[in-house]
Amino acid sequence: MKKITINETKIRETAKKYGTPFHIYDEKVILDRLNTLISSFDWSEFKEFFAIKANPNPHILKIMKDNNCGVDAATVTEIKLAEEVGFSGEDIMFTSNLTTLEAYKYAVNKGAIINIDYAPDIYELFENGIIPENICFRLNPGSIENEIMGDSKESKFGSTAEQIKNAVTFLKENNISSMGLHTMVVSNENDPKIFGEYTEMLFEFAREIISDYGVEIDFINIGGGIGIPYEKEQVVDVKSISEEVKASYNKVLKANGLESKIFMESGRYITGESGYLVTEIIKEKETYKKYLGVDASMSDLMRPAMYRSYHHLTNIDAEARGEDEFEEYDVIGSLCENNDKFAIDRKLPKSRLGDLIVIHDTGAHGHAMGFNYNGMLRNGEFLYTTAGEVKQIRRDENFEDYTTTIIGGY
């Protein structure tokens, strides 16, 4: 059974003071995952660029800043969030797609590393006088498959090897001979061998580029994609993942007298297990099934509706009562969509109106993917600090927030 790492008394106090639902993150878990990742890759010149999309709250980004990480930004807005926290220059990796000239220009002017999704963009950039100091190309190998990312040949992300080679030739002709390479082909993956396989492919491509074009590959960004154990209480073996990457690095690069910095852009692994969505049972319903209606909805956590993803649920009040009778429920939200379900046919202790349910592993792609369908207002966020205190890091939205961008006169 998965355990809650945050003091349950603090969860109850927060619910009583601020109401439900809300997301809360355990700072200690975040720091533990960061330290594990960084120490596992100590065999290399390594840097973690936290994927802002996983959890864009500036208070969370500040933890990354304080621990010498960079950030991976997908949009200009995410760059601006990073700047608010104090990130600048090469501490920001701009990994976008369908990127406009305006977005490129903003990122280049800020000195960010420009991770180009579609290699032919480089020609348009130069034609318009937008010359990045730090250029990286995103490779789509067309040969890797993963449950969430799917077949890379079907992916909208990245460029073919031939497109990148043509872009490298162009850069060389324009006296640029140092750059980076990147790929991101797995998501929520914990099989160390897969990391070894795709990084060997990426390192081999880097070796080929260096050999054939006489350029320097300053860094290789091996993406993120390290998963978390949503369903079971277990520890992700990041050390074994690192050892597989190291073996590929030694086999392909080191054996040929080459070296490169290693970057990652982990998001889910760093913050996912730190987060919980706390919600209250507000309605019981029985038709052909038994339903527990809660005051959270998929506007607070989209993953179960989008992917049929498993998130462990703990009814902390039923556990406190010592309930030993279990029933099967669908745990549902109130949106006018039938897929607004956190769990289907889930066996839980017999539950009552007013019970607090804690939904686990919501620290990545939880609040970040929230939305306002049906006029649902986005809910607050809290940080459970290493000092054992609860700090509010985002208030609930109100109606004025929801309507502030609407032009009057109706």
Same domain for 12 and 67 = no
Task: State how far the Cα of 22 lies from the Cα of 27, in Å rounded to an integer.
Answer: 16
3-state secondary structure (DSSP) of residue 182: strand
What stretches of 7-141 show up as alpha helix (H) in DSSP?
8-18, 27-40, 58-66, 76-85, 101-109, 121-127
pLDDT tens sequence across 25-77: 999 999 999 999 999 999 999 999 999 999 999 999 999 999 999 999 999 99
Using alpha carbons only, give the angle 97, 102, 108 rounded to the nearest 5 degrees: 80
**Is-above-0.85 flag for pTM?**
yes
Average pLDDT over residues 168-173: 97
Is 336 catalytic? The answer is: yes
Same domain for 234 and 160 = yes
3-state secondary structure 212-251: HHCCEEEEEECCCCECCCCCCCCCCCHHHHHHHHHHHHHH
- Give CA 129 to chain center in angstroms: 33
3-state secondary structure (DSSP) of residue 185: coil
Tokens 């998963």 correspond to: 227
3-state secondary structure (DSSP) of residue 138: strand
Cα distances (Å, whole numbers) of residue 225 to 9, 80, 184, 239: 34, 24, 7, 15
Q: Which two tokens stand for residue 61?
A: 């980004």
pLDDT band, residue 406 (cuts 50/70/90): very high
CATH code of the domain in which 354 resides: 2.40.37.10
Nearest to 358 by CA among 402, 283, 285, 300: 300
pLDDT at 276 over 80: yes
- Candidate from 167-176, 272-281, 377-386, 400-409 with smallest mean pLDDT: 400-409
pLDDT tens sequence across 320-350: 999 999 999 999 999 999 999 999 999 999 9
Q: DSSP string spanning 344-409? A: EEEEEE---TT-EEEEE--TTTTGGG---GGGPPPPPEEEE-TTS-EEEEEPPP-HHHHHTTS-S-
pLDDT band, residue 148 (cuts 50/70/90): very low
Same domain for 261 and 201 = yes
Q: Strands 22-26 and 46-51: what pairing?
A: unpaired
Task: State how far the Cα of 205 lies from the Cα of 185, in Å rounded to an integer.
Answer: 15
Same domain for 92 and 192 = yes
Largest CA distance in the chain: 73
Same domain for 366 and 289 = yes
Same domain for 228 and 191 = yes
**Confidence (pLDDT) at 232:** 84
Same domain for 53 and 17 = no
pLDDT band, residue 380 (cuts 50/70/90): very high
Q: Report how many domains make up the chain.
A: 2
User: Which of these three, 228, 251, 268, is where a domain ends?
Assistant: 268
Nearest to 184 by CA among 167, 172, 168, 201: 201
**Structural domain for 389, as ranges:** 8-24+273-403
- 16's CB contacts (< 8 A; 6+ apart) are none
User: Which of these three, 268, 299, 327, is where a domain ends?
Assistant: 268
CATH code of the domain in which 120 resides: 3.20.20.10
Average pLDDT over residues 268-287: 98
Decide if 362 is inside a domain.
yes
Same domain for 382 and 282 = yes
Nearest to 183 by CA among 198, 163, 167: 198
Cα distances (Å, whole numbers) of residue 73 to 54, 199, 202, 265, 279: 10, 22, 22, 10, 30
> What is the Cα gyration radius of the chain?
23
The one catalytic residue among 1, 98, 235, 336 = 336
pLDDT band, residue 270 (cuts 50/70/90): very high
Same domain for 133 and 17 = no
Same domain for 329 and 207 = no
Same domain for 395 and 254 = no
Decide if 1 is inside a domain.
no
Decide if 3 is inside a domain.
no
Same domain for 190 and 94 = yes
Decide if 409 is inside a domain.
no
User: Which of these three, 268, 298, 325, is where a domain ends?
Assistant: 268
Decide if 339 is inside a domain.
yes
CB 235 within 8 A of CB 278: no
